[in-house]
Amino acid sequence: MILAILQARYSSSRLPKKVLKPILGKPMLLHQIERLKHSKMIDKLVVATSMSFSDNIIEKMCRDNNIDVFRGNLDDVLDRFYQCSESYESDYIVRLTGDCPLIDWKVIDETIQYFFEGNFDFVETSLKFPDGLDAEIMTKLALKRAWNGAKLPSEREHVTQFIVNRPEEFRNGIFEPVDDLCHHRWTVDEPEDYEFVKKVYQALYKKNPLFLMKDILNLLDQNPGLIEMNSNFIRNEGLEKSLIEDKGFLKNV
């Protein structure tokens, strides 16, 4: 079984409460989940949030909408993922993050297909995709090995860093797009990101609630000014901060 685990928390440091911010009157996270439900490859989807009191509201939203939810460690996200995977019969785990309301289920399915065709332990979408279409798939065994072996703060907070950092131990792959689209930022970490995403939904959702990557690209070709709304932010800023924490951790070991 292919289990998709969507990590989400209410206490985001850069844009608090972002996962439940409204887009066209509906929480951002719920929009993302509705898009993911159209995947042909994912068998089960569960939201993995934390045991923090602040995340009670995420659990409530999930239960009110008949969405599976799991609660675990707030800061040790790798442990949260692993414990969530243990609660379900799963051979393969898809990792998704709750700040990607423009996620494209077709890209996810193509990534999963590439994973199986190459007999990989782990596959991630390339950085050449727009930031915000990120997806990863791994074997349950690879996740367990990461859970057992990861020690660095970055490897506990960022679920797959242990695997990515050890290409000699894991058969890793990268699913590449046809074109290099890395200059597009479709994730939501900053207020400008949120405003950008709202503009996209306002332009596309009513005509086609399941608009895809190609539809967004067409919109941006017609409205190039939209790209400038949030183009000045660093990609994977959270990971960069964790790598700095690793240096302090290693000094104290």
Range 10-16 average pLDDT: 81
Does pLDDT of 185 surpass 60?
yes
Class of residue 144 by CB neighbours under 10 A (exposed 0-12, middle 13-18, buried 19+): middle
Does pLDDT of 239 surpass 60?
no
CATH of the domain at 95: 3.90.550.10
Q: In which order are the strands placed within the sheet that holds 44-50?
A: 68-72, 44-50, 2-7, 92-97, 136-139, 122-125, 172-175
CB–CB of 138/121 below 8 Å? Answer: yes
DSSP annotation of 131 reads: B
Does pLDDT of 212 surpass 80?
yes
**Element spanning 44, H or E:** strand 44-50
**Percentage of residues in the chain having pLDDT higher than 70:** 93
Task: Please enumerate in sequence order all residues whose Cβ is within 8 A of that of 30, keeping only pairs 6 or more positions apart, or say none.
Answer: 61, 65
Does pLDDT of 222 surpass 60?
yes
What average pLDDT is seen over the chain? 93
Does pLDDT of 248 surpass 90?
no
Range 87-101 average pLDDT: 96
What pLDDT digit, counting tens, does each position of 162-182 carry?
999 999 999 999 999 999 999
**Element spanning 114, H or E:** helix 105-117
Q: Which domain holds residue 39?
A: 2-252
Does pLDDT of 13 surpass 80?
no
Does pLDDT of 124 surpass 90?
yes
What pLDDT digit, counting tens, does each position of 16-68 carry?
899 999 999 999 999 999 999 999 999 999 999 999 999 999 999 999 999 99
Helices 28-36 + 191-204 axis angle, to 10: 50
Range 225-249 average pLDDT: 71
Predicted local confidence at residue 250, as pLDDT: 55
Counted domains in the chain: 1
Range 93-102 average pLDDT: 97
Alpha helices in 118-170 (DSSP H): 140-149, 153-157, 161-164
Helices 77-86 + 140-149 axis angle, to 10: 140
Q: Label the pairing between strands 26-27 and 22-23.
A: antiparallel
Which whole-number Å values give the CA distances from 143 to 122, 137, 156, in the listed order? 9, 10, 12
Task: Please enumerate in sequence order all residues whose Cβ is within 8 A of that of 72, keeping only pairs 6 or more positions apart, or say none.
Answer: 48, 50, 51, 79, 80, 81, 83, 84
- Taking the C-alpha atoms of residue 19 and residue 103, their distance in angstroms, rounded to an integer, is 14
Task: Please enumerate in sequence order all residues whose Cβ is within 8 A of that of 128, keeping only pairs 6 or more positions apart, or say none.
Answer: 176, 177, 179, 180, 181, 182
Predicted local confidence at residue 12, as pLDDT: 76
CB–CB of 125/107 below 8 Å? Answer: yes
Does pLDDT of 88 surpass 60?
yes
Structure tokens at 119: 């007999």
Does pLDDT of 244 surpass 60?
no
Does pLDDT of 251 surpass 70?
no
Task: Please enumerate in sequence order all residues whose Cβ is within 8 A of that of 118, keeping only pairs 6 or more positions apart, or say none.
Answer: 171, 173
Q: How confident is the model at residue 15 (pLDDT cuts 50, 70, 90)?
A: confident
Does pLDDT of 159 surpass 70?
yes
Predicted local confidence at residue 253, as pLDDT: 59
Predicted local confidence at residue 246, as pLDDT: 55
Query: What is the residue-wise DSSP string for 181-243?
Result: -TT-B---SSHHHHHHHHHHHHHHTTT-TT--HHHHHHHHHH-GGGGGGGTTS-TTHHHHHHH
> pTM of the predicted model, to two decimals?
0.91
Which whole-number Å values give the CA distances from 6 to 147, 153, 205, 250, in the listed order? 17, 20, 22, 30
